Chains A and B, each alone.
Chain A
Amino acid sequence: MKNKLISIDKALDLIKDGDTVMYGGFIGVGTPETIVDGIVERKIGNLTIIGNDTGKPGKGVSKLVAARLVKKAIVSHIGTNPETGVLMGSGELEVELVPQGTLAERIRAGGYGLGGILTPTGLNTDVAVGKEVITVDGKEYLLEKPLRANVAIIRGSIVDETGNVYYNGTTRNFNPLVAAAADIVIVEAEKLVKAGEINPEHVMTPGILVDYIVLEGGKN
């Protein structure tokens, strides 16, 4: 079995300037903070980030925004991190706002081999501008295209050495979705256990989707 556990330094080597990076987390809850801190320390910049929101000051990907490492954010909400709005206003940061359910499905489509999804959300709003409207059985839907990334960074509450992931509480959010939709997937483990220690029925993200494991806090 491939050893997926790597050091935080090796993990950061996998993330390049100009990459598109997907991340789990909802206002920072479920975001891999150690990896985010590492990106800030290494100043890996010019990033396009895709996730639910831009965190809140001091938590989650807000730290990437504060360090001016983000070129573009594809998110559903920026209200909890006022700095994103300021940088958007000054033109330093491009923000593409996507309805939260649509964002989840676009990422899922990107991860699971679909050419897009049809949703009624956003019809007759600015979200529909430039998009194809498709009628199915008399009902209109927007065609929303898949999203993919170079790297996805996720956070697991319990991860086994094969990369199987279990999420506590509301940390799950976008983590299992982005885990499928990137070329390289790195999970930050709050707790790492041996194979077999997570009941197979409790695995929320199959290890096959996970390429590398780092430990929260970079303890290895």
Chain B
Amino acid sequence: MDDAKTIIARRAAKELSDGDIVNLGIGLPTLLTAFLDPALDITFQSENGILGMGTEEKENPNPDVINAGGAYVNVIPGANFFDSATSFGIIRGGHVDITVLGALQVDQEGSLASHIVPGKLVPGMGGAMDLVVGAKKVIVVTTHTAKGAPKLLKKCSLPLTAYSKVNRIITELAVIDCTKDGFVLRERHSSTTIEQIQSLTDATLIIPETVGIFD
């Protein structure tokens, strides 16, 4: 079977539609590009100042063109560069259709903790707080558990990156929507059961009549 990250990336790629403007977080979210249908017209925004980001450029990198993770990238025809105020104007102003980002914790109110573990890991929020507030749709991609402990919680215990902004969570086991009533299980991975997903989720899942299956 594929590893968890591959499963998540492949499923997350299906969330993107023709014409979408998309911002991908560094790491796991970026892996989904390998599974995109090349026929789709998708424009990637990078918050350091690009609309129309291409792929990582290893052969002939331009030292003046990086993505938000610091990797050298190329751009597609029609791309444009801008300053950080414009970039976050685009983000906060609702001009980004989808943001896909990772998480330390997500809770049933749709709140996200992704930027700080006090005393241990303090990278900072970077652009995440603005992205989660501004994007039309917020998708969290994460492994379902960390070292066996649930990451999908009743209530986040870590400092919040945003309160009640996550729309959908994709893990290697499940696709879960955050609704005003709580977590709704939309799909399960073909290798698992609803019972197993529930046992690895801190919050109680709402199980609709139909739960889809993904691979």
Contacts and interface: CB of A to CB of B under 8 A. Distances in A.
B interface: dominant SS: loop
A169 B64 contact: yes
A102 B128 CA distance: 11
Interface string A157-190: 1000000000111111111110000000000000
Interface centre among B49, B62, B164 (most CB of A within 10 A): B49
Nearest to A96: B124
B162 interface: yes
Interface in B113-131: 116, 119, 122-130
Contact of B84 (A124, A125, A173): A173
Contact of B49 (A26, A79, A123): A26
B71 to A, nearest CB: 10
Contacts of A177: 83-85
A127 B129 contact: yes
Interface residues of B, number: 41
Interface stretch (A1-9, A114-122, A212-220): A114-122
B122 A88 contact: yes
Given A27-B70, A89-B119, A170 B81 contact: yes
Nearest to A78: B124
B109 to A, nearest CB: 10
A interface: dominant SS: mixed
A56 B70 CA distance: 9
Interface centre among A76, A88, A89, A171 (most CB of B within 10 A): A76
B122 A29 contact: no
Contact of B88 (A80, A100, A171, A204): A100
Interface in A29-77: 29-30, 52-53, 56, 75-77
B66 A125 contact: no
Given A101-B92, A123-B163, A172 B129 contact: no
B127 A99 contact: yes
B56 to A, nearest CB: 14
Given A26-B48, A26-B49, A168-B64, A76 B83 contact: no
Contacts of B124: 53, 75-79, 95, 97
A175 B127 contact: no
Interface string A81-102: 0000100110000010101111
B82 A76 contact: no
B133 interface: yes
Given A105-B85, A121-B133, A79 B123 contact: yes
A170 B123 contact: no
A112 to B, nearest CB: 10
Contacts of B46: 170
A171 B48 CA distance: 9
B83 to A, nearest CB: 5
Interface string B54-94: 00000000111110101000000000011111011101100
B161 interface: yes
Interface of A: 26-30, 52-53, 56, 75-80, 85, 88-89, 95, 97, 99-105, 108, 119-127, 157, 167-177, 204
The 5 closest A-B pairs by CB, nearest first: A101-B88, A79-B123, A124-B163, A101-B130, A169-B64
